[in-house]
Structure 1
Amino acid sequence: MKRILIMDDEIEVGNFFRHLLEEKGFNIKTAVNKNEFTTLISELSFDLALIDMKLPDSNGIQLLKQLKKSQPMCKAIIMTGYSTVKTAVEALKNGANDYIEKPFDDLELLEKTLDNFLSTEYISNRTETNQLATTIGFIIGENAAMNELAKLAEKIAKKNINILIEGETGTGKDVLANFIHHISQRYNQPFIRINCGAIPETLLESELFGHEKGAFTGAVKLKKGIFEIADNGTLFLDEIGEASLGIQVQLLRVLETGEYYRVGGEAVRKTNTRIIAATNKNLVQAVEEKTFREDLLYRLDVVKLNIPPLRKRIEDLNLYLNYFLQKVNASHLTFSGESLEIMRNYMWPGNVRELFNIVKRAAALVDEGETIVTPKYLPEKLLQNNHQNEDNYQMNDEFESFITSWTKNILSLWDGHNDIELDDVLFSVKELEKQVGRSFVLKSLKNHVGDRKKTADSLNITTRQLKYLLNEKGKI
């Protein structure tokens, strides 16, 4: 018999769940304070725990951490009021499997949620989710950050809350949004993408909200907007940071009330569209600079997902390459070991999108009959980066060789029994200072492609100091 723990300081809540679940054959235990909770999890094992977020002598996240430390396999659901949804999302990041909002208005949904976590099909559902992610192109792989991101995305996908995705250009924010849509309850409804930075403000307003016939010059017929077309579905607003302040005001109204007007229209229209927004900008900084509304950020940032750049998940390079080779119908190709090494050492400023373009390029250039993508089929920028890395390795070797030699020499003086000249020791220390300083300057100079101003700034020194360290004291 599966055992369930209910942690809530209101006795009525415990009685409610006891009545709801005991008739289903579950063993229910209740706790109304931290001490009772601690005692129960130390004496009994549980399959599921429902923990209230706000408690007189503790809080849900603290008890969740305590539970996960004591019984890591026990599934946990946080119970929260609407005003603490953002805190509940923090609980998801700390190991909670889900959260439910109080009061429990939809009992059918509540029972379905509990049955799901107590079902033996729960694990197989995770397998199906991973397969769906791969089909869509959302590569999870072995990277720890991507696995945590996928778990959190899966948990919040089924909630009717807005999501903000942050990440560098080309990291796959649109793919993550598509993944969330397909594992949500809206999967059979429209998923529509729009880039807020690619459309002029006047056209963007019409695209989002539609327009009436004759609303402006060229409006020869009525047009439905995306909020109308995507009703009950998902709208992905890419580069939301590029939206004008005027559009931001209208988006805020939709998020607050679910209402909007067509351009030139007077009738209030309703929408049940879920918003997933994405940006490569720092929106907090944009708020400080008065280019983004703080109240809109508050509405969008209910859940924030940060997708890491490709360079921080490079251990899954082969997975991305195999997926992209299949996508361009070139699965017969493989990248040579040398090509892979060059790609792993590249910084990927364009991220996954840049990698896809390189795969397409290689598939188009490979000679007929060849199956191996050697470095000659890679772009020059990757090869130059490889040569730069070789230079860096040489510089590192020279620096390490000097440090090793100096250390060996100074230790021999220390361990020796003969008299020494202190001036010789101090001269050697000054030589170390000089060579170390020069080495760090050369390394920074190389990183900034010879730009001395940027090099000096990065080292927090003046250009005069930089010249001195480069032994250019007499040069202008």
Structure 2
Amino acid sequence: MKRVLVMDDEIEVGNFFRHLLEEKGFQVSIAVNKNDFTTLISELSFDLALIDLKLPDSNGIELLKLLKNSQPNCKAIIMTGYSTVKTAVEALKNGASDYIEKPFDDLDQLENTLDKHLSVETVSSQEETNQIASKLGFIIGANKEMNELAKLAEKIARKNINILIEGETGTGKEVLANFIHHASLRYNQPFIRINCGAIPETLLESELFGHEKGAFTGAVKLKKGIFEIADNGTLFLDEIGEASLGIQVQLLRVLETGEYYRVGGESVRKTNTRIIAATNRDLEKAVEEKTFREDLLYRLDVVKLNLPPLRKRKEDLELYLQYFLGKVNASHLSFSKESLEMMRTYEWPGNVRELFNIVKRAVALMDEDETTITPIYLPEKLAQNSGHQIQHHNEDDLESYLTGWTRNILSMWDRYKDIQLDDVLFSVKELEKQVGRSFVLKSLKNHVGDRKKTADSLKITTRQLKYLLNEKGKV
């Protein structure tokens, strides 16, 4: 028979859980103070502990640490009020399996949570995490930091709270957000991504909230916004630090009340969209510089996840290479020992995204009868720290890039009977980015580095120019 420990200074809470759990056939012990708690965990072995976060003579985090030191295999659920959710998340980082919010209004949900952690028949949390991650291409690997991140992400996925993902450009923030969505109770609802830096400010409001017919010139019909389409699902706001202060005010209202107006509309609309935001900027610094609202940061930063750069998880480099080769239908290829050596010494400023682009480039340049990717198919920048002298294709040469890209697309067309359309469309998007960047660089050179003149000549804003140059986090 499984044994449960309830630690709460309120007698009624202990009695409630005793009644609920003993009916299910579990043995229940009650502690109302730290002394009771330490005595019980020294005398008895428990399968699950329910620990209140706020206690008169102690706190839940302290007792959780005592429990984990004494009985590391005992699962723990922290009980908290909404105002202490951030502290409850700290408890998850310290080994808690879950947290539940007081008051316990939804008894069905409470029982489901208890059953989940007391059941022996369910698939382990780690197995579930690995299955979802593998399906979505979220590579956890052997890196300790990534494993801790994945465990925390899986724990908070089922909670209806906002999440802020921080990480350098190209680390895979969207993949992590998609993983959280699919591990959540909203997994069968929409997951929609919008890049706050890529859409002009004048259009972003309409994209997010929709507009009524005739709201502005060109609004020839009613348009639903992202918040309406993503209702009950997840909205991933990428590059949230690039949102204007005006958009930030409207986002804050939605996060506080769940209400918004369509552009040109007069009726209040409701949404139950979960927000996962991401940034490669230091938002606390942006708050100091008055470019980001502190109250919005507070609303977004209920849980903060920091995605480590690729240079700090090089032990999993080969896992990424295998995955990316499969993604471009080139699993029959492999990287030579020299190529792998070069990649391990490279610092990867563009992170996972840069690695994927290099894999696609190498595959596109290879002859059909070759099966090993040698250093000649890698950019020269990878050789700079490794001592290799290689002949290479100039990656800044637009003609060379277009030749390689065309070769890759035609290879996909000719070689494979079935191919995922997403892979083709992704390749088209990458082409659009590279061509746009090449024209920006050419214009920038013509205007001797003057970004204002460059933007004016290209009929774009300096904000769009920064985006095309992949300088979204730079001032």
CA distance in 2, matches of 1:388, 1:76: 53
Kindly report which structure 2 residues correspond to 1:73-112, keeping only aligned pairs within 5 A, or say none: 73-112=73-112
Rg larger for: 1
Kindly report which structure 2 residues correspond to 1:462-473, keeping only aligned pairs within 5 A, or say none: none
Equivalent in the alignment of 2:283: 283
Deviation of 1:385 after TM superposition, in Å, equals: 2.8
Equivalent in the alignment of 1:327: 327
Deviation of 1:128 after TM superposition, in Å, equals: 2.9
Deviation of 1:387 after TM superposition, in Å, equals: 2.6
1:255 maps to 2:255: yes
Query: Residues 129 and 150 of structure 2 are in contact (CA less than 8 Å); yes or no, is this contact kept in structure 1?
Result: no
Deviation of 1:125 after TM superposition, in Å, equals: 4.5
Deviates more, 1:269-278 or 1:116-125: 116-125
CA distance in 2, matches of 1:238, 1:288: 21
CA distance in 1, matches of 2:55, 2:129: 34
Deviation of 1:363 after TM superposition, in Å, equals: 1.0
CA distance in 2, matches of 1:62, 1:282: 31
The AA in structure 2 aligned to 1:207 is: E
Deviation of 1:131 after TM superposition, in Å, equals: 1.7
Partner-residue secondary structure (3-state), 2:45: coil
1:120 maps to 2:128: no
CA distance in 2, matches of 1:388, 1:43: 64
Equivalent in the alignment of 1:382: 382
The AA in structure 1 aligned to 2:261 is: Y
The AA in structure 2 aligned to 1:229 is: I
CA distance in 2, matches of 1:174, 1:246: 24
Equivalent in the alignment of 1:315: 315
RMSD over equivalenced CA pairs, Å:
1.1
Equivalent in the alignment of 1:58: 58
Deviation of 1:388 after TM superposition, in Å, equals: 9.0
Deviation of 1:120 after TM superposition, in Å, equals: 1.4
Kindly report which structure 2 residues correspond to 1:154-303, keeping only aligned pairs within 5 A, or say none: 154-303=154-303
The AA in structure 2 aligned to 1:296 is: L
Equivalent in the alignment of 2:436: none
CA distance in 2, matches of 1:248, 1:387: 48
Kindly report which structure 2 residues correspond to 1:332-411, keeping only aligned pairs within 5 A, or say none: 332-387=332-387
Deviation of 1:129 after TM superposition, in Å, equals: 2.3
Partner-residue secondary structure (3-state), 1:386: coil
Partner-residue secondary structure (3-state), 1:384: coil
Size of the aligned set, in residue pairs, is 389
The runs of 4+ residues in structure 1 deviating greater than 3 Å are 121-125
Deviation of 1:101 after TM superposition, in Å, equals: 0.3
Equivalent in the alignment of 2:24: 24
Instruction: Please report the TM-score for the alignment, with normalisation by the length of structure 2.
Output: 0.81
Task: After superposition, give the CA deviation of every residue in 1:208-262 in whole Å (9 maximum; x if it has no partner).
Answer: 0000001000000000000000000000000000000000000000000000000
Q: Extract unaligned runs of 5+ from structure 1.
A: 390-476
Deviation of 1:276 after TM superposition, in Å, equals: 0.2
Partner-residue secondary structure (3-state), 2:110: helix
Partner-residue secondary structure (3-state), 1:236: strand
Deviation of 1:365 after TM superposition, in Å, equals: 1.4
CA distance in 1, matches of 2:123, 2:205: 44
CA distance in 2, matches of 1:109, 1:341: 51
Q: Extract unaligned runs of 5+ from structure 2.
A: 390-475
Percent identity between the aligned chains? 84
CA distance in 2, matches of 1:37, 1:197: 51
Deviation of 1:336 after TM superposition, in Å, equals: 1.0
Equivalent in the alignment of 2:422: none
Equivalent in the alignment of 1:43: 43
CA distance in 1, matches of 2:351, 2:261: 38
The AA in structure 1 aligned to 2:309 is: P
CA distance in 1, matches of 2:32, 2:141: 42
Deviation of 1:368 after TM superposition, in Å, equals: 1.9
CA distance in 1, matches of 2:119, 2:21: 14
The AA in structure 1 aligned to 2:61 is: I
Task: After superposition, give the CA deviation of every residue in 1:133-174 in whole Å (9 maximum; x if it has no partner).
Answer: 012011000000000000000000000000000000000000
CA distance in 1, matches of 2:241, 2:169: 13
Partner-residue secondary structure (3-state), 2:9: coil
Deviation of 1:122 after TM superposition, in Å, equals: 4.1
Partner-residue secondary structure (3-state), 2:86: helix
The AA in structure 1 aligned to 2:211 is: H
The AA in structure 2 aligned to 1:324 is: F
Task: After superposition, give the CA deviation of every residue in 1:184-226 in whole Å (9 maximum; x if it has no partner).
Answer: 0000000000000001111000000000001000000000000
Instruction: Please report the TM-score for the alignment, with normalisation by the length of structure 1.
Output: 0.81
The AA in structure 2 aligned to 1:6 is: V
CA distance in 2, matches of 1:124, 1:91: 20
Equivalent in the alignment of 1:405: none
